[in-house]
Amino acid sequence: MRAPLQQIETSGELPQSADAVVIGGGIVGVFAAYYLARRGLKVALVEKGRIGAEQSSRNWGWCRQQNRDARELPMATRSLDLWEHFAAESGEDTGFRRCGLLYLSNDEAELAGWARWRDFARTAGVTTHMLDSAEASERGRGTGRSWKGGVFSPTDGTADPSRAAPAVARAILALGGTVHQNCAARGIETEGGRLSGVVTEHGTIRTKMAVMAGGAWASSFCHQFGFRFPQASVRSSILSVSPGAEGLPDALHTARISATRRGDGGYTLAISGRGRVDVTPQQLRFSAQFVPMFLKRWRSLAPGGLQGMRSGHETLRRWQLDRPTPMERMRILDPSPDQATIRLTHARALELLPALRQTRISAAWAGYIDSTPDGVPAIGEIYGVPGFFLAAGFSGHGFGIGPGAGHLVADLVTGSEPIVDATSYDPRRFDASAWGKVADF
């Protein structure tokens, strides 16, 4: 019962050299490779498993500005335009639609927080509508109850996680780039201190530019050459139901449950923010740096088990470049969903949205959400290894901002004007503590 995902055929033989190599075929890696290929670079993307098979197919599909932290809002706004442009310029369908997102609440403090965000968003030119009780109850009529208030963000939307990353990978191929599945990058080579190649399980690609967009695997990869990237993941469990429920909002958030209409007419159901923390060596290594984040989020987190140890993505072990690595043993990080959360989510959804009683559970899955200490991604050149760039730690927001993040990576790699100010994403900020800097929403 994995998350649904389109399978795609990709390139055969690995090139001996490339202008740029992208490691990781999640939404961030595919968009980075796409924007590099559009600039005429010879690009090779290597993915240890299947394109999109980790976080990028396991999420809700929300592409939102609503409630974004100030450091991410400009990228979220640009990304919404890029989702639209991508469809127009490539002819590929990611399922993106500006359907608007609906937030409903009966909690005065929550409504006041949304109103404060609306005032801030205005200063950034972002439109969002606070709903009074009558408007919220009308928009939320599928719940059959009245609400104190809410928010509708008309310019936000959703894309289809089962189609988006494969669609972008096809567009890379159409531009002459190569995409290699079942091809793990084991490490990098340097010459005179600069990046000179990416070593994969199928051979080395000579290149002066590479991007590590490996999601939850980025820190253990960087650990191999001594770069400290504080990253920790949380296991989030969600489910989907079959088509059959009509009259519901396309994308609805409440404190108890969130529901998102899928491309096939079914719904993805989840409890926002809820997750389990599976202890790993990496979690322990960076635990002090994550205290501010933990203090902000602990109410939604619960202790997990030993799955994270077994899957190997947060190992502190150093591996050899001529032997199989943990990435080849775990082609697709596919943690087991927490069954208690799945049952609770389903029960709450049926109670809140009676139309869902016409449907049945079609799948349930979990994903490891990779986070940084401040909840903002790391995007930038890795100091000490010129030519090697990091784009990871998307902290539960990376699907929606994938196009903007990929574009920014391509800007940095090619030395072009960045699409947004990159300062807030600089990986060097992790040398300081995250106290007072954890993203609000």
Residues within the interface to ligand FAD (CB under 6 A):
23-29, 46-49, 53-56, 58-62, 184-185, 213-217, 221, 236, 238, 327, 367, 369, 392, 394, 396-400
Residue 186 Cβ vs ligand FAD, minimum distance, rounded to whole Å: 7
For the record, the structure tokens of 317 come out as: 């072990």
* Closer CB to ligand FAD, 31 or 137, in the complex: 31
* Closer CB to ligand FAD, 32 or 137, in the complex: 32
Residue 134 Cβ vs ligand FAD, minimum distance, rounded to whole Å: 28
* Closer CB to ligand FAD, 103 or 394, in the complex: 394
C-alpha span between 262 and 159 (Å, rounded): 9
Residue 238 Cβ vs ligand FAD, minimum distance, rounded to whole Å: 5
Query: Going by DSSP bridges, is the β-strand pair 301-303/251-253 parallel, antiparallel, or unpaired?
Result: unpaired
User: Distances in Å between the alpha carbon of 142 and those of 110, 157, 261?
Assistant: 21, 19, 13
Query: Going by DSSP bridges, is the β-strand pair 101-105/251-253 parallel, antiparallel, or unpaired?
Result: parallel
* Closer CB to ligand FAD, 137 or 240, in the complex: 240
Residue 49 Cβ vs ligand FAD, minimum distance, rounded to whole Å: 5
C-alpha span between 232 and 220 (Å, rounded): 11
Question: SS3 of 205, please?
Answer: strand
Task: State which residue has the least CB distance to ligand FAD.
Answer: 26
Residue 436 Cβ vs ligand FAD, minimum distance, rounded to whole Å: 23
Angle among Cα 223, 318, 284 to the nearest 5 degrees reads 60
Q: Are 230 and 373 in contact (CB under 8 A)?
A: yes
* Closer CB to ligand FAD, 137 or 258, in the complex: 258
What is the amino acid identity at position 284? L
Q: Are 91 and 142 in contact (CB under 8 A)?
A: no
Residue 433 Cβ vs ligand FAD, minimum distance, rounded to whole Å: 23
* Closer CB to ligand FAD, 212 or 434, in the complex: 212
Question: SS3 of 83, please?
Answer: helix
User: Distances in Å between the alpha carbon of 277 and those of 302, 365, 368, 376?
Assistant: 6, 16, 9, 19
